[in-house]
Amino acid sequence: DTGVSQNPRHKITKRGQNVTFRCDPISEHNRLYWYRQTLGQGPEFLTYFQNEAQLEKSRLLSDRFSAERPKGSFSTLEIQRTEQGDSAMYLCASSLVGAKNIQYFGAGTRLSVL
């Protein structure tokens, strides 16, 4: 399968713990995006990378959130000191600039903070 891959698919954690999610984009895609989706809502943009450079961050991305894309391939999203309000689906998407820049989404990581 050459689509966007996200791991883990589900994560249950206790409040105050740190969690890290991984996204493997479609190979050759130079842009990678992170979104958060809560139940009954549309995805909310968090941040995006072009290659290894983080080009934009939403105000939704508090200091407890950090995203990296060290080699311009896979990306990680870390949430420190998780809160119950962080419970959501975290979606990753990738695109190729110049090829209409269509964003292809992964299936997401569902985070539950107890």
Partner 1 sequence: QQQVKQSPQSLIVQKGGISIINCAYENTAFDYFPWYQQFPGKGPALLIAIRPDVSEKKEGRFTISFNKSAKQFSLHIMDSQPGDSATYFCAASRDNNDMRFGAGTRLTVKP
Site for partner 1 in 65-84 (CB under 8 A): none
Q: Pick the binder of partner 1 from 93, 94, 111, 113 (CB under 8 A).
A: 93
Q: Pick the binder of partner 1 from 13, 26, 45, 66 (CB under 8 A).
A: 45
Q: Contact 94/33 with Cβ under 8 angstroms?
A: yes
Q: Report CA 78 to chain centroid distance, whole Å.
A: 9
CB of 96 to partner 1, least distance (A): 11
CB of 7 to partner 1, least distance (A): 14
Q: Pick the binder of partner 1 from 4, 19, 61, 67 (CB under 8 A).
A: 4
Stretch that binds partner 1, among 14-22, 51-59, 68-76, 80-88 (CB under 8 A): 51-59
When asked if residue 111 is in the footprint of partner 1 (CB under 8 A), the reply is no
